[in-house]
Copies of this chain bind each other. A is one copy, B any other.
Amino acid sequence: MTKMNHQTRLPIREGRDSLTPRPLTVRRSVNPHAPGSAHLTMGRTEILATVSVEDKAAPHMRGLKEGWLTAEYAMLPRATTDRQARERSLQNGRRHEIQRLLGRAMRASMDLRPFRNQTLYIDCDVLVADGGTRVASILAAHAALHDLCDRMVRAGKLSEWPLLHNVGAISVGFVGDELRVDLDYAEDKVARADLNVVATSTGLLIETQGGAEAGPMTTEEFTRLMTTGVAAVQALMVDLGRQLAVPPGV
């Protein structure tokens, strides 16, 4: 499906340049039971995120003055090009790695003092995967948290806005010698280096994950990837913020 450059044997981007992410669309309040939710597409990648608030402190937070937030990430069996057995997908290491990143990113974004003795669960389920599911999950999780906070504030259940930072993420990598932003699956498979950058809308860094399994890079190359990623996240958050500003049901 993806066109390839016959000389370099690298995938060609059509309709976007190397620094432009795929189109992003988000709908909020998509789940009638959850207090916060979002459906997000980024190219063909499609994520459903919900936030649940449980009135029970996490074991290690009992007696403390703030709540806890944890995240789960899973793929539907046919999110991928081949079907994956349901039981196996729950035990796999990649899933654990991603949901730990997701949890850290979202905890970094939020003041959890208003949720004392409560636990927030964010569930990101991948309906369709085409590369970048971990960064799309962070964006969807942010959208679902934003939906939760907005509805709680409107309903008078929160007196202050608890999101300290608008946190998003993007993947950046070298495909051949070209630095590209937001790799799809075909690009990701051939990238020489691949970094996931989690950052704020104000250009601060939360975390990076990944690097150069195919061979090391210089610290300069790494810094270039990282700063390009941070700038791309800033641009993405403007787009996302505009879409989230519309109240649900409008």
Contact = CB atoms under 8 A, between A and B. Distances in A.
B206 A212 contact: yes
B83 A52 contact: yes
B108 A100 contact: no
Interface string A64-80: 00000000101011111
A202 B94 CA distance: 29
Copies of this chain present in the complex amount to 6
A205 B226 contact: no
Contacts of A207: 210-213
Contacts of A249: none
A44 B31 CA distance: 9
B96 A93 contact: yes
A127 B123 CA distance: 12
Interface-central residue, A32, A80, A222, A223, by most chain B CB under 10 Å: A222
Query: What class of interface size applies to chain A in its complex with B?
Result: 35 or more
Contact of A74 (B37, B80, B86, B203): B86
A211 B205 contact: yes
Contact of A213 (B48, B91, B108): B108
A239 B139 CA distance: 37
A134 to B, nearest CB: 12
A89 B135 CA distance: 26
Nearest to A227: B219
Nearest to A79: B33
B226 A230 contact: no
Given A100-B94, A208-B211, A33 B81 contact: yes
A131 to B, nearest CB: 13
A211 B206 contact: yes
A82 B238 CA distance: 33
Contact of A121 (B72, B83, B91, B123): B83
A185 B221 CA distance: 32
Given A77-B123, A90-B86, A206 B200 contact: no
A110 to B, nearest CB: 11
A37 B76 CA distance: 13
5 contacts: A50-B76, A96-B97, A107-B213, A205-B222, A207-B210
